[in-house]
Chains A and B, each alone.
Chain A
Amino acid sequence: MTFLIAENGVQTYLPILFMFIAAMGFIVTSMLATHYLGPKRKSKIKDEAFECGIESQGNARTPFSIKYFLVAILFVLFDVEVIFMYPWAVNFKNLGVLGLIEMFMFMGFLVLGLLYIIKKGALKWE
């Protein structure tokens, strides 16, 4: 049995397209089927937010302190810095002195930023 598949060109990517169609088709079909086959019941209590069976208090979309956002963003920043250091540490010998200087510059910039936010008082929680 022989298959006629072009050696190169766009045709070689056809199996990927078919896989995407099959995957999307499965999701759409199963979602629609469960939607129409399954029994449903709707009431005011059913549609309420689930808070372990206790009545929910207030609105979830209330304003809260900007400090949470600042701390979260700063965490992400320094988290990324640490992640960058892993591949650098693995290739430490190959990258040599140049890599060391580059990484120290990168860290230096971030430390300057850290000093700046401490001076600005972004991490003060009072």
Chain B
Amino acid sequence: MSTIDIKPENKPEGLEGAGFFATSLEKVVGLARANSLWPLPFATSCCGIEFMATMASHYDLSRFGSERLSFSPRQADLLMVMGTISKKLAPVLRQVYEQMAEPKWVLSMGACASSGGIFDTYSVLQGIDRVIPVDVYIPGCPPRPEQVLDGILKIQELSKSEGLRMRNSPEYKAKLALYGIE
């Protein structure tokens, strides 16, 4: 029987002693946010099928704290765009993004969501970053579940390191203003 090495969550820097551990609030909030991301699956095509495999028992996304999918943007932290977004669907995607509560992240899965993919036509949006800001892109057509897990771990790293004040900063507002979002 082979043994499985379980890597525990890396402890943030802090003061440690017998029976206690003290660190900054920012790091605790970062850990909590990173390990309890609630994704909103915006699955429009075959990448959505790969996402089903990612959620199922073999790959099991719930191991990373994303057990609960949210189909309302109000409770979601992570918008996962999986599949071709047509130009007609772009305003819908944008409204879903805008109605999400802060803090929020966007993961663009697959070639279609990231760049339009093979659908270089009049009807398809050439990448969702034309309407909303994207944090992590996953390449592939469609990507394997391992790649999706890798993308979510990248989002976790982002959420761990962004800090408490980032979402109130003028830089963040300027970034959203580029997309015409208040």
Contacts and interface: CB of A to CB of B under 8 A. Distances in A.
A94 B106 CA distance: 64
B123 interface: no
Contacts of A43: 98, 181-182
B56 interface: no
Chain B binding surface SS class: helix
A52 B92 contact: yes
Given A50-B74, A54-B92, A45 B99 contact: yes
Contacts of A45: 95, 98-99, 182
Given A39-B103, A52-B92, 7 more contacts: A39-B167, A41-B102, A46-B182, A50-B73, A53-B94, A54-B92, A54-B95
Contacts, number: 41
Contacts of A40: 101-102
B164 A37 contact: yes
29 contacts: A37-B29, A37-B164, A38-B102, A38-B103, A39-B102, A39-B164, A39-B167, A39-B168, A40-B101, A40-B102, A41-B102, A41-B167, A41-B182, A43-B181, A43-B182, A44-B182, A45-B95, A45-B98, A45-B99, A46-B98, A46-B99, A48-B99, A50-B72, A52-B92, A52-B96, A53-B92, A53-B96, A54-B92, A54-B95
Contacts of B181: 43
B166 to A, nearest CB: 8
B83 to A, nearest CB: 15
Contacts of A37: 29, 164
A53 B95 contact: yes
Interface of B: 29, 72-74, 91-96, 98-99, 101-103, 164, 167-168, 181-182
Interface of A: 37-41, 43-46, 48, 50, 52-54
Nearest to A54: B92
A13 B149 CA distance: 51
A54 B94 CA distance: 10
A111 B91 CA distance: 55
Contacts of B182: 41, 43-46
Nearest to A40: B102
A44 B168 CA distance: 18
Nearest to B103: A39
Contacts of B99: 45-46, 48, 50, 53
Contacts of B167: 39, 41
A44 B29 CA distance: 28
Chain B CB count within 10 A is highest, among A40, A45, A48, A53, for: A53
A38 B167 CA distance: 9
A99 to B, nearest CB: 47
A55 to B, nearest CB: 8
A44 B95 CA distance: 11
Contacts of A52: 92, 96
